[in-house]
């Protein structure tokens, strides 16, 4: 028993240490991109900044796109954090708005860099990046529905998924160019698009709330 506990403790420490190193690499990559651009971030530059070899960096991230994915996972974690009191008593439209704004707010400190990451993922000659991005977007929408407490199935669910995907993508395009204080333009656009989607769903099957 003692040996098993020691092994579990060691494994936990290794996992924790690996997570801390991955976080350090992500922070360094974001700092480099802020000074220059996302396109100019290289593992050689990261290695110099962190005092790590390329082999060590590769153990944590297979390529630059994997670092971008880690940044978007942080935003998803922020979106899925414990909601405020009374969250589930609000109308579904408000719950969705709060969750999506959490996601955008988490990305906001590095808005320009995030936009550059997305541009890199969508580059015509990088299908190995933009094809997985489609599935990542689908998973994000699934988590969003779950967190918002949307439980519809069948055709209603499909309509919600399509609608939320369109709302998120359209709002993301606005957010990438939004320089207003507190992302006011993004917030107003999101509210308007959710109102529109809610109206369409209401006609489809009785509203989202």
Place of tokens 């929408």: 141
Residue (of 11, 55, 35, 56) closest to 24 by Cα position = 56
Q: What is the pLDDT of residue 6?
A: 52
Q: What SS3 class is residue 18? A: helix
Q: Are residues 119 and 36 in the same domain?
A: no
Contacts of 63 (CB under 8 A, 6+ apart): none
Q: Radius of gyration of the chain from Cα atoms? A: 20
Q: Are residues 120 and 135 in the same domain?
A: yes
Q: Are residues 28 and 119 in the same domain?
A: no
Q: Are residues 128 and 75 in the same domain?
A: yes
d(Cα 67, Cα 71) in Å, to the nearest integer? 6
pLDDT in tens, 120-135: 888 765 666 656 777 7
Q: What SS3 class is residue 177? A: coil
pLDDT in tens, 152-175: 999 889 999 999 999 999 999 999
Choose the final residue of a domain: 44, 61, 78: 61
Residue (of 160, 141, 167) closest to 206 by Cα position = 160
Place of tokens 């489809």: 204
Contacts of 126 (CB under 8 A, 6+ apart): 65, 120
Q: Are residues 141 and 120 in the same domain?
A: yes
Choose the final residue of a domain: 41, 61, 81: 61
- pTM listed for this prediction: 0.85
Decide: 73 and 19 in contact? Cβ < 8 Å. Answer: no
Range of the structural domain that residue 78 is part of: 63-209
């Amino acid at each position: 028993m003692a040996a098993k506990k020691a092994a579990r403790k060691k494994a936990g420490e290794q996992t924790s240490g690996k997570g801390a190193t991955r976080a350090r690499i992500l922070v360094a990559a974001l700092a480099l991109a802020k000074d220059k651009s996302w396109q100019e971030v290289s593992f050689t530059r990261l290695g110099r900044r962190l005092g790590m070899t390329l082999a060590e960096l590769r153990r944590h991230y297979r390529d630059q796109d994997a670092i971008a994915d880690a940044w978007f996972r942080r935003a998803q974690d922020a979106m899925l954090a414990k909601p405020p009191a009374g969250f589930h008593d609000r109308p579904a439209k408000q719950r969705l708005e709060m969750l999506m704004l959490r996601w955008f707010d988490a990305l906001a400190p590095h808005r320009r860099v995030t936009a550059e990451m997305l541009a890199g993922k969508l580059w015509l000659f990088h299908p190995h990046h933009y094809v997985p991005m489609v599935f990542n977007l689908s998973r994000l929408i699934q988590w969003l529905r779950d967190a918002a407490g949307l439980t519809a199935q069948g055709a209603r669910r499909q309509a919600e998924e399509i609608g939320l995907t369109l709302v998120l993508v359209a709002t993301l395009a606005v957010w990438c160019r939004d320089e207003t204080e507190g992302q006011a333009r993004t917030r107003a656009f999101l509210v308007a698009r959710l109102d529109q989607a809610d109206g369409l769903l209401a006609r489809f099957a009785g509203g989202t709330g």
